[in-house]
Structure 1
Amino acid sequence: MTEIIRSLADLSGRYDAVFCDLWGCLHNGKAAFPTAVSALQGFRKAGGKVVLLTNAPRPKSSVIKQLDGLGVPRDAWDIVVTSGDAAQMGMLSGAVGRRVHHIGAPKDEPFFTDFADDLAAYAKTQPPIERVDLKNAEGIVCTGLNDDLTETPDDYRAALLLGKTLGLPMLCANPDIVVDLGDKRLYCAGALAEAYEQLGGTALYFGKPHPPIYDLARRRLAEAGAPSDPQILCIGDGISTDIQGGMSEALDTLFITGGLEADQFGPDVENPDQGLLDNWLEARELSPTFAMGRLR
């Protein structure tokens, strides 16, 4: 049975590092959550490493700028690893060819130009990536919707059908289906990849819950001086991404119930009902190690 805990400090001394999700755990897209910031600061002060592990389709430099703008202090984390980072590695290696068609927003342009040091070195050894129209592409790179404030996956049906007809594989830079921006729910690249697969297309995933992002996170954690076999806790509000991913990696998990699924566990978001939680998890055949209303 999943154990409900009151605070991250309850687990003091048990873990060398946390892989912590961002959206829904540390911020809501508009502002940082002060109690979550304090929890991560406390974990670091006790000697732990904080890896912010996000399915954002942009490289880590863009995410760091966003975190600064949202008021997340830099002493709350050690490392940022994004789905964009892992997907960039896939793109550079030619996973969907060298001529690619991009589906995504203008804010995602850094995906093609801004590489972390380890990826930039790798990029120099590979043939260039050329962006082309759909009919001349070898594959699709999907970082999200062009306008996620107004569009839905239905707006992309024609393009997805054409891509499927042409037999183009899709690189999905963000497996998330939806996120909450304040009180508004937005579709992510994962929703387009899911729609593409439903049409018979092939999608390749690089963020949570899939292995590439965890491999990259472990490599960067080791470079930051973590023990050779660190005890890691995965924190997140996405049951099919954060929690499923952590469990697939044989890591302990902390499910934040007050995020995407906040209306499922009783009227008090801070204190999830154990019975409702157990029934909900049983229906999904998942058992996180711990649960908490909001990260604190």
Structure 2
Amino acid sequence: MLCPPVSAGTGQGGHGGEPTRGDACPRPAADPMFRSRRAGLVRRLWRQRCAAAGPEDGPGALKPAAHALFKKLKDEELELLVQAVESRGACESGCVWAPRGEPRGGAKQALPPQVLLCRLYRWPDLRQPHELKHLCYCAGGRAGCGDAAALCCNPHHFSRLAAPETPPPPYSKVSCGPSWPDEPPFPGTQLLEFSYNGGHWRADTSLSRSTIKDGYWCKLAYWEHRTRVGRLYAVHEASVNVFCELPRGSGFCLGQLPAAHRSRAVRRARGKIGRGLLLSREPGGVWAYNRSEHPIFVSSPTLGPPGAHGLPVLKVLPGYSAKVFDYERVG
């Protein structure tokens, strides 16, 4: 595009004054194709929102704040967010960095970006940031990582914290001792046995997803009724997926284990494993994140109070995390 010559003089772009908008080479307008592409991403994001119990807490009430946040995200961040919410966390996605501070959009109550998007796409009843936990692969949750002026708001980089409850029978206690793997607490279902390796229990603050040089830190065993299926699975990295169906998944795939002589109850239970769980060794303890669409039950000597009889069992709902092994609770 050719620009007309700029003449000198007051108001004409010379030494006598600032150039007027009409004298300078006009900036090209944003490409309509890019505008429509961005608008398409926003429409796809809005279609993926959760349904809510009541209109006062419904996604429509969050629309002004959500669209204000979308405007602050770069095109690359919007694409990452679309991938995350459309796959519902089945595929790993990168961090979605949003400026720190509360989005402004006329919403009744300003929410931090991570709470806003987690509430919009995963948990409509979510209220406070302290109800959330960064998953181990989120850079925003690691000290010294990320931009101080930005935070990750990818809703699938978070889990909710599982709170201990008083469970009703028959799963209130699991008998303690070596016989536990031979007597699964939930007949007809599977049991994943977790065995921590090492004579020390101190937290390692330098953990990452890289391979731990000292060798495996735990071994996993998979049981069906009273029979262990497959070999022990040694875990060398700081986190491991345990699953039956996971797109491009890596880790302990239960779907590849031998399938001979499985009862109908076992086949039915295996059909519910799906994306399974994520087991991660983090500073302070070992965490289990339920990636499946069904509750899981975990048992550990560090879940209950010191000196408690038997092993408490904790129900972990889909999308929730629990610290299944606490380094400070053992000798």
Greater relative contact order (Cα 8 A, min sep 6): structure 1 or 2? 1
**Pair in the same fold by TM > 0.5:** no
Is the radius of gyration larger for structure 1 or structure 2? 2
Given the two structures, how large is their TM-score scaled by the length of structure 2?
0.25
Given the two structures, how large is their TM-score scaled by the length of structure 1?
0.27
